Structure 1
Amino acid sequence: MPVIVLEARDFASPLFLVRTWEVISTCTTFSLVASLEPSELNKNESHLNTFRIFCMFTWCFFFTVTLLIHILSVIQFHSLIPISWKNLTMTVAVLGALMCLSVSVIFPWIVMVHQNVSPRSVTAAVASCLAFLAYTSEFYVLRAQAQEQRGYMGSMPGLLKILQLWGGCQMIPLVVESGCVPPSEYCWQLWVSCVSYGVCVLTSLVTLMVILGDFAGRCFLPFDRFLAGFSLIGVLLYIVATVICFTKILQMQKSKDLVITETAIACLTLLAYTVDLAFSIKQLCDRSHA
């Protein structure tokens, strides 16, 4: 099968330009951070190392995924991949914007904690912010398309599911760090929180795989009931996790900043699950009356 490449005018399209911007900015960011000397960013402090790894993983992951999407779009091979391309691109754009926003806050915090600001670390922080702007721009470009071109992930329920996945991803480094702080008698709180976040991330990934693979028609349950059930599980588990977070704020005497951050993200994610559950219930009621 011959390779079909975009026409010359397509290389000046907004979508092509913003994806090029994304690739360059993410590549620049992780390259600069990887080249930092130990004196510029202390890699031996475990408190900082977890967040540094999280930032590096985010930049490298989205650079790789965006580059693949960019290449497949140029050679027009995306139609041969057995996934929903419109849902994939929207998911990467929105999740990339949220994740790059997070690491654009975390990385400058790491630098300021180390109290050794260098030109390379400042440039890396700026490049990370540019990556966030690039993914946000792609989201707006995709949202400007017709509704059928955006796919399910471009709708409000789809965006809420991306927000839920983002919230679960933020909990990984926070739980790793805050879990080392509480005394041993409060270990049950850590385990309950880990189970809650883990189950919710797993359900979000399963939902995403079903949507991207167009498996909705093959589910053993109607897809709307499938989504409503996952949303209900998320609401219940995040209620438990949020209560535990508020309890830890009252119990802990130090490192409260991590627990407060965890609590804020848990509340935001709980809100996303609650609104998503309301959308699912409304959809079920509309179909039952149809």
Structure 2
Amino acid sequence: MPVIVLETKDFTSPLFVVRTWEVLSSCATFSLVASLDSSELSKNSNNVNSFRIFCMFIWCFFFTLTLLIHILSVIQFHSLIPISWKNLTMTVAVLGALMCLTTSIVFPWIIMDHQILSPCSVAAAVISSLTFLAYTSESYILCNQAHEQRGYMGSMPGLLKLLQLWGGLQMIPLVVEMLLNGVPSWQQWVSCLSYSVCIFMSLITLVVILGDLAGRCLLPFDRFLAVFSLIGVLLYMVATVICFTKILQQSKNNDVELVIMETVVVSITLLAYTVDLAFSIKLLCDRSHA
């Protein structure tokens, strides 16, 4: 297949502009943060370094992924890749917006709460917010395309699954910090198991959708998703009860700020799984009556 480069007018399209914006702003953000003195970031707190690593990973990961998508879009080479391109671009845009929203909250919290104010750190926080706006803009553009162009991930159930994956990924640095800063309890291990199972289910779902493997599933794909949503609801209900229990106990072994953050994210994720389960049940009922 010959390589086709975009026409001149395509370089001024909204999609091209926002992806260029994403690449430049994410690159500028992690470059500024990398230039900060690590010893300065680590003072006054034991958990700053873990969250900084988490933020750096998000900026670097989405910079790399967006740059590859941008290049493949320009040279029109994506048709040779054995994945669903429309679902991939939607996934990267929406998940990038959600993850950059996290960094735009967490990193300013780090520099404000631990008095790490400097021109570079403030600039990084501002540009991280601009990166979030860029991914949000791309998500808006893609969601306003025709249904055939945006694919399953652009539908409400698809967006809910990305929200579920986002919620699971937020638990990684939070749980790590709570395990490192105190004696692990049975509650924390149960929560870890719940989050791990849900992240695993979300990744399986994402692989099936991006690889167009729905037809190869042992179960019909809609039942497959309904089972995963039901398991997610049950596991996050357990995690939500544990989070509220830890807040009420106000245990000295728990960092109150981290527990509150965990509770907020868990509640949002539980809501996403609940709504997604309702969509799945409605779809199964509609098909059974058809």
TM bin (shorter chain): over 0.9
- Corresponding residue for residue 162 of structure 2: 162
Q: Work out which of the residue numbers 235, 238, 260 in structure 2 matches 1:237.
A: 235
- Equivalent-residue separation in structure 1 for 2:259 and 2:16 (angstroms): 40
Q: Are 2:28 and 2:127, in contact at CA under 8 Å, matched by a contact in 1? A: yes
- Corresponding residue for residue 247 of structure 1: 245
- Equivalent-residue separation in structure 2 for 1:55 and 1:180 (angstroms): 19
Deviation per residue, 1:20-75 (Å, 9 max, x gap): 00000000000000011236423795311110000000000000000000000000
Shift of 1:263: 0.6
Q: Work out which of the residue numbers 201, 204, 227 in structure 2 matches 1:203.
A: 201
Q: Are 2:110 and 2:116, in contact at CA under 8 Å, matched by a contact in 1? A: no
- Corresponding residue for residue 65 of structure 1: 65
Deviation per residue, 1:233-290 (Å, 9 max, x gap): 0000001111111111122245211101101110110000000000000000000000
1:152-231 aligned within 5 A: 152-183=152-183, 187-231=185-229
Q: Secondary structure at 1:91's aligned position in 2?
A: helix
Q: Are 1:40 and 1:118, in contact at CA under 8 Å, matched by a contact in 2? A: no
Deviation per residue, 1:149-200 (Å, 9 max, x gap): 110000000000000000000011111112234545xx11111011000000
Q: Secondary structure at 2:42's aligned position in 1?
A: coil
Deviation per residue, 1:206-243 (Å, 9 max, x gap): 00000000000110100000000000000000011111
Q: Are 2:226 and 2:277, in contact at CA under 8 Å, matched by a contact in 1? A: yes
Gaps spanning 5+ residues in structure 1: where? none
1:47-66 aligned within 5 A: 47-66=47-66
- Equivalent-residue separation in structure 1 for 2:208 and 2:34 (angstroms): 35
Gaps spanning 5+ residues in structure 2: where? none
Q: What letter corresponds to residue 83 of structure 1 in structure 2?
A: I
Q: Are 1:40 and 1:117, in contact at CA under 8 Å, matched by a contact in 2? A: no
TM-score w.r.t. the length of structure 2 is 0.96
Deviation per residue, 1:90-111 (Å, 9 max, x gap): 1111000010010111001111
- Corresponding residue for residue 147 of structure 2: 147
Q: Are 1:108 and 1:125, in contact at CA under 8 Å, matched by a contact in 2? A: yes
- 1:2 has 2:2 as partner: yes
Q: Are 2:25 and 2:130, in contact at CA under 8 Å, matched by a contact in 1? A: yes
Give the count of matched residue pairs: 288
- Equivalent-residue separation in structure 2 for 1:268 and 1:246 (angstroms): 14
- 1:103 has 2:103 as partner: yes
Percent identity of the aligned residues?
76
Shift of 1:144: 1.7
Runs of 4+ in 1 over 4 A off after TM superposition: 181-184
Q: Are 2:45 and 2:114, in contact at CA under 8 Å, matched by a contact in 1? A: no
C-alpha root-mean-square deviation of aligned residues, in Å? 1.3
Q: Are 1:18 and 1:134, in contact at CA under 8 Å, matched by a contact in 2? A: yes
Q: Secondary structure at 1:116's aligned position in 2?
A: coil
Q: Are 1:51 and 1:106, in contact at CA under 8 Å, matched by a contact in 2? A: yes
1:83-122 aligned within 5 A: 83-122=83-122
Q: Are 2:165 and 2:202, in contact at CA under 8 Å, matched by a contact in 1? A: yes
- Corresponding residue for residue 136 of structure 1: 136
Q: Secondary structure at 1:88's aligned position in 2?
A: helix
Q: What letter corresponds to residue 203 of structure 1 in structure 2?
A: M
Closer/same/farther in 2, CA of residues 39 and 155 from structure 1, 3 Å limit: same
- Equivalent-residue separation in structure 2 for 1:32 and 1:266 (angstroms): 31
- Equivalent-residue separation in structure 2 for 1:44 and 1:115 (angstroms): 9
- Corresponding residue for residue 42 of structure 1: 42
